[in-house]
């Protein structure tokens, strides 16, 4: 690796240096955790907002979803379900992961039917 000769192992550093680097890492970790938490809160807020597109809202309501349950999160789940039923394996995997079912445990119950 280029520049490897410039690296100093922690075993050769003083306790003060190690403490400083550890403290700096802890501060950076806190900043990253706060940033992730803010991003998650923003995503939760947006997904909980009602659907603003009238056509999409009508399409969801025709699927017998209660009007108070129609939000961006429901629209996203319906989109994933539609993609999965049309053969999108990634969408199906995301839905299975969201539901929390283990696909490996369900393989024993799957029956393949051939229309020959």
Q: Which tens digit of pLDDT belongs to each residue from 84-93?
A: 999 999 999 9
| Pairwise pLDDT comparison (2 vs 31), residue with the higher score | 31
Mean per-residue pLDDT, 92-113: 71
Residue 103: predicted pLDDT: 52
Mean per-residue pLDDT, 77-96: 94
Which 8-state DSSP code applies to residue 13? S
Q: Which of 66, 61, 67, 60 is nearest to 81 (CA)?
A: 60
Mean per-residue pLDDT, 44-66: 93
Terminal-to-terminal C-alpha distance of the chain: 59
Contact 65, 85 (CB under 8 A): no
Q: Which of 106, 103, 104 is nearest to 94 (CA)?
A: 103
Alpha-carbon gap, residue 92 to 65, rounded angstroms: 21
Strand partners, 50: 71
Mean per-residue pLDDT, 17-27: 91
Mean per-residue pLDDT, 37-63: 94
Across all residues in the chain, what is the average pLDDT?
87
Give the C-alpha distances (Å, rounded to integers) separating 109 from 103, 104, 112: 10, 10, 10
Mean per-residue pLDDT, 54-78: 93
Q: Which of 45, 80, 44, 78 is nearest to 61 (CA)?
A: 78
Mean per-residue pLDDT, 21-29: 94
């Amino acid at each position: 690796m280029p520049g490897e000769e410039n690296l100093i192992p922690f075993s050769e550093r003083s306790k003060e240096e190690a403490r400083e680097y550890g403290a700096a890492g802890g501060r950076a970790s806190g900043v990253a955790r706060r940033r992730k938490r803010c991003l998650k809160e923003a995503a939760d807020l947006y997904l909980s907002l009602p659907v603003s597109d009238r056509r999409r809202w009508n399409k969801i309501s025709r699927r017998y979803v209660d009007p108070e349950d129609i939000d961006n999160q429901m629209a996203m789940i319906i989109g994933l379900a539609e993609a999965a039923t049309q053969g999108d394996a990634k969408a199906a995997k995301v839905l299975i992961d969201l539901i929390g079912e283990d696909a490996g445990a369900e393989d024993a119950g799957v029956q393949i039917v051939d229309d020959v």
